A = this chain, B = another copy of it.
Amino acid sequence: MNIDPGLFEESERTTPQAEGRQFVEVGSLDLERGGHLGSATIAYQTWGKPDPSNAILVCHAISGDSNAVGWWPRLVGPGKAIDTDRYWVICSNVIGGCQGSTGPLSGDFPFVTLGDMVEAQSRLMDHLSIPQWQLVCGGSMGGMQAIEWARRFPSRTKGVWATASALRHSAMQIGFNEVARQSIFRDPRWQGGNYTDQGPTDGLAVARMLGHLTYLSEPAFEAKFGRRLQEGDVKVPDAGATFAKREVFQVENYLAHQGHKFTERFDARTFVVVSNAIDTYDCTALPESDTRFLFTSFTSDLLYPSWQSQTANELALGSGHESTWLDINSPLGHDAFLLDENEQASAVHTLLGN
């Protein structure tokens, strides 16, 4: 397999940009699992010429935000699969998030589901006077939201593209999220979610390190790092003990860097809220509608294996929908949904009838 190591630099993901972000109050929300949000705010960004009859919604993954052209530059922008020259493209930060939308500021925040996130997005849609999305799309959790759009608002969702995603998390996916959550909970600065400073940054950093292990693939890690040692700029903290002092592998430095960076831009409470929303999501049926589906997956994706997209496609077909599943041969792991431009774009063009 041919892997361009430079590709991965992009998947380090951008830090959120406040520039261009707009806010809308969408009123109170009765939540799916009980509890209530008194007055919810949604942070969102738009690109392209405002045209409610020609709008696309992009949904972000667990660590994302409303800046879709920032975190998905190969797929969203002028001339890209989600073409901001042709469509009015909207992306909003989820409820429960920490990038502008209403999210947890203490341990008292209620339990939020992917359904609640989509419900809140539908209020944004009303605010923008959009009758129907030409497409709702996203990768990973973003793809699960897109599926939830078709389940909850079938007549407002003309097309769904879910990439590197699933109808529900498997036991192993729940397991990865739970190890990350326990890493946060067991940090003494977690304080039941009631911290007022930076909070459990050690636990959050370890959670993110684990995340990055699942975003790549074994061949991608080999191509990117192998057993090469870090020369200078060591970011792995000193662990004190004599037996812990040795040369640092590049992969260790990469993980330390990713873990640290994440704590500077993300909140541990949001990680818990959103990962719980993902793990409890379970789409078992899709209503009759004219919604057309596209599911893309990647052969080396450890986190969202291809069979999950295959299963989603079977559900859509079995519910009488037009649906396509494309399993893309890639060594880039889960991050391939951020990095693969051509094969995803071609399938999306077909879905959109371009």
The answer to whether B240 and A191 have CB atoms under 8 Å apart is yes
Task: Specify the main secondary structure of chain A where it touches its partner.
Answer: helix
A166 → chain B, closest Cβ, in Å? Answer: 12
Q: How many chain A residues touch the partner (CB < 8 A)?
A: 74
Q: Interface with B: A141-149, A155-163, A174-182, which one?
A: A174-182
Considering the complex, give the chain B residue whose CB is closest to the CB of A186.
B202
Chain A, 182-193, contact with B by CB distance < 8 Å: what is the 0/1 string? 110111101111
A35 contacts chain B at the CB level, 8 A cutoff: yes
Taking a contact as CB atoms under 8 Å apart, the answer to whether B185 and A183 are in contact is no
In the complex, the answer to whether A179 meets B193 with C-beta atoms within 8 Å is: no
Known: A109-B243, A243-B112, A246-B280. A209 touches B224 (CB 8 A): no
| CB–CB B242/A185 < 8 A | no
Decide: A241 and B193 in contact? CB cutoff 8 A: yes
Q: In chain B, what residue has the closest Cβ to A253?
A: B178
Q: Let me know if B182 and A256 touch, CB within 8 A.
A: yes
Q: Contacts A182-B205, A188-B188, A218-B305 known; A168 to B227 CB distance under 8 Å?
A: yes
Query: Is A77 in the interface zone, CB < 8 Å from B?
Result: no
A206 touches B224 (CB 8 A): no
CA distance A278 to B35 in the complex (A): 49
Residues of B within 8 A of A224 (CB): 171
Task: Report A20 CB to chain B, min CB distance, Å.
Answer: 29
Confirm or deny: A59 has a beta carbon within 8 angstroms of a beta carbon on chain B. Answer: no
Contact (Cβ within 8 A) A243 B227:
no
With A and B bound together, what is the CA distance between A243 and B110 in angstroms? 5
Question: Nearest-CB distance from A12 to chain B (Å)?
Answer: 15
A282: chain B residues within 8 A (beta carbon): 227
- Nearest residue in B to A169 (C-beta to C-beta)? B227
**Nearest chain-B residue to A225 (Cβ)?**
B171
The answer to whether the Cβ of A194 comes within 8 Å of any Cβ in the partner chain is yes
Residues of B near A181 (CB, < 8 A) are 239, 244
A residues with a Cβ closer than 8 A to B are 33, 35, 96, 104, 106-112, 168-172, 174-176, 178-179, 181-183, 185-188, 190-194, 202-203, 205-206, 209-210, 213, 216, 218, 221-222, 224-227, 236-237, 239-246, 249-252, 255-256, 259, 269, 272-273, 276, 279-280, 282, 302, 305
Between A and B, 6 residue pairs with Cβ closer than 8 Å are A104-B243, A176-B213, A182-B206, A186-B203, A218-B305, A249-B279
4 extra interchain contacts, Cβ-Cβ under 8 A, other than A175-B252, A243-B276? Answer: A172-B213, A188-B188, A190-B239, A191-B240
Which 5 residue pairs of A and B lie closest in terms of their CB atoms, listed nearest first? Answer: A192-B240, A193-B241, A107-B241, A186-B202, A171-B221
